[in-house]
């Protein structure tokens, strides 16, 4: 009894594979400043990629010639062989080695692309960066990737955004953060300061008695939300700087202030405290 097996061990073939195949996707990184990711821009990109050969228009053949049917497989792209085993006859099918499974050969390849139907080229594409895009996000440009072998349809081009570090601001989502160092006197007495935001200069009020680590929120001065709906906020974190070197006059003035405020002796802070304790402290002038 004879046995015939399909697939790798024989059976019906799948026919020749096409010379025209889809192209691969491409990925390119784009470095942007915070102002550019915040408000969006149109950026030109230089891309090295594969394009259709203009000499053969993707056919891979020299001008005036065409692919020829493979003599070894007769155009099927496959060759078969039969072996005798203890189970009977086993027929195996494999891609034709003469035409690499295409079913045709190119006797006269294109002198420009060498028969591939595409060439390496450099071109410029323009990508629109939406306002509010974040570091690490990707923008897909459909059909802007590599052209496939044999002039096949191109893949997509993905643009990955990389946001450069800013000198002043750090970003968390739509919010911006910055740190400002305040002199001890400005924190105690209060002050007005000018802060440069993404929109220009902002007047910021520091209230008297500001403590180290305090934060001032400036609404709607952060980054626009990517899908619309307003903007984030700007958070100004205040670091109070205590002087480390004083001249004689400054030291005298601080000692007088310490005496006036009754701060010459430091006592450990009492945890909690009841209502009457807090009232007594308030009348005694303790902060």
> Mind listing the pLDDT tens digit for each residue in 164-178?
999 999 999 999 999
**Number of folded domains in the chain?**
2
The answer to whether residues 30 and 62 belong to one domain is yes
Q: What is the mean pLDDT of residues 184-200?
A: 93
Band the pLDDT of 261: cuts 50, 70, 90: confident
193 within domain boundaries: yes
> Mind listing the pLDDT tens digit for each residue in 20-34?
999 999 999 999 999
> Mind listing the pLDDT tens digit for each residue in 84-125?
877 778 888 899 999 999 999 999 999 999 999 999 999 999
Band the pLDDT of 269: cuts 50, 70, 90: low
187 within domain boundaries: yes
- Residue 2: the pLDDT is 35
269 within domain boundaries: no
Window from 54-58, 85-89, 262-266 with minimum mean pLDDT: 262-266
CATH for 186 = 2.60.260.20
185 within domain boundaries: yes
- pLDDT of residue 132 exceeding 70, the answer is yes
- Residue 251: the pLDDT is 83
The answer to whether residues 94 and 174 belong to one domain is no
Segments forming the whole domain that contains residue 244: 170-264
280 within domain boundaries: no
68-69/104-105 β-pairing: antiparallel
The answer to whether residues 13 and 103 belong to one domain is yes
- pLDDT of residue 8 exceeding 60, the answer is no
256 φ, ψ to 5°? -65, -40
The answer to whether residues 25 and 156 belong to one domain is yes
274 within domain boundaries: no
Last residue of a domain, one of 132, 163, 194: 163
The answer to whether residues 115 and 232 belong to one domain is no
Average model confidence (pLDDT) across the chain: 87
Q: What is the mean pLDDT of residues 181-192?
A: 93
277 within domain boundaries: no
The answer to whether residues 81 and 97 belong to one domain is yes
The answer to whether residues 142 and 36 belong to one domain is yes
Last residue of a domain, one of 147, 163, 179: 163
284 within domain boundaries: no
- pLDDT of residue 54 exceeding 80, the answer is yes
Give CA–CA dist 238/190, Å, rounded: 12
The answer to whether residues 14 and 151 belong to one domain is yes
The answer to whether residues 183 and 141 belong to one domain is no
Give percent above pLDDT 90 in the chain: 72
What is the reported pTM?
0.75
The answer to whether residues 48 and 146 belong to one domain is yes
- Residue 275: the pLDDT is 47
- pLDDT of residue 1 exceeding 90, the answer is no
The answer to whether residues 51 and 118 belong to one domain is yes
Secondary structure string (H, E, C) spanning the chain: CCCCCCHHHCCCCCCCCCCCCCCCCEEEEEEECHHHHHHCEEEEEEEEEEEECCCCCCCCECCCCCCEECCCCCCCCEEEEEEEECCEEEEEEEECCCCCCCCEECCCECCCCCCCCEEEEEEEEEEEECCCCCCCCEEEECCCCCCEHHHECCCCEEEEEEECCCCCCEEECCEEEEEEEEEHHHHHHCEEEEEEECCEEEEEEECCCCCCCCEEEECCCCCECCCCCCECCEEEEEEEECCCCCCHHHHHHHHHHHHHCCCCCCCCCCCCCCHHHHHHHHHCCCC
Q: What is the mean pLDDT of residues 73-80?
A: 93
- Residue 117: the pLDDT is 94
The answer to whether residues 138 and 208 belong to one domain is no
- Residue 218: the pLDDT is 96
- pLDDT of residue 129 exceeding 70, the answer is yes
Last residue of a domain, one of 121, 142, 163: 163
């Amino acid at each position: 009894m004879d046995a015939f097996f399909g697939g790798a061990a024989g059976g019906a073939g799948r026919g020749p594979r096409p010379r025209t195949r889809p192209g691969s996707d491409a990925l390119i990184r784009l470095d942007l400043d915070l102002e550019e990711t915040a408000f969006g821009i149109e950026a030109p990109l230089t891309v090295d990629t594969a394009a259709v050969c203009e000499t053969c228009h993707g056919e891979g053949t020299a001008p005036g010639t065409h692919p020829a049917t493979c003599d070894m497989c007769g155009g099927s792209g496959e060759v078969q062989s039969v072996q005798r085993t203890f189970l009977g006859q086993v027929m195996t099918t494999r891609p034709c080695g003469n035409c690499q499974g295409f079913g045709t050969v190119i006797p006269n390849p294109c002198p420009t692309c060498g028969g591939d139907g595409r060439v390496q080229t450099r071109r410029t594409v323009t990508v629109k960066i939406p306002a509010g895009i974040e570091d690490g996000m990707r923008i897909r440009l459909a059909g802007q990737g590599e052209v496939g072998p044999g002039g096949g349809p191109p893949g997509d081009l993905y643009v990955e955004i990389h946001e450069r570090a800013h000198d002043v601001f750090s970003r968390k989502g739509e919010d911006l953060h910055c740190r400002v160092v305040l002199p001890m006197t400005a924190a105690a007495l209060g002050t007005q300061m000018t802060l440069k935001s993404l929109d220009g200069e902002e007047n910021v009020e520091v209230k008297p008695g500001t403590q180290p680590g305090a934060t001032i929120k400036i609404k709607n001065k952060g980054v626009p939300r990517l899908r619309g709906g307003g903007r984030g906020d700007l958070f100004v974190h205040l670091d109070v700087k205590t002087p480390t070197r004083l001249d004689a006059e400054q030291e005298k003035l601080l000692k007088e202030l310490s005496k006036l405020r009754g701060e010459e002796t430091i006592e450990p802070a009492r945890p909690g405290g009841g209502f009457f304790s807090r009232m007594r402290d308030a009348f005694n002038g303790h902060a």
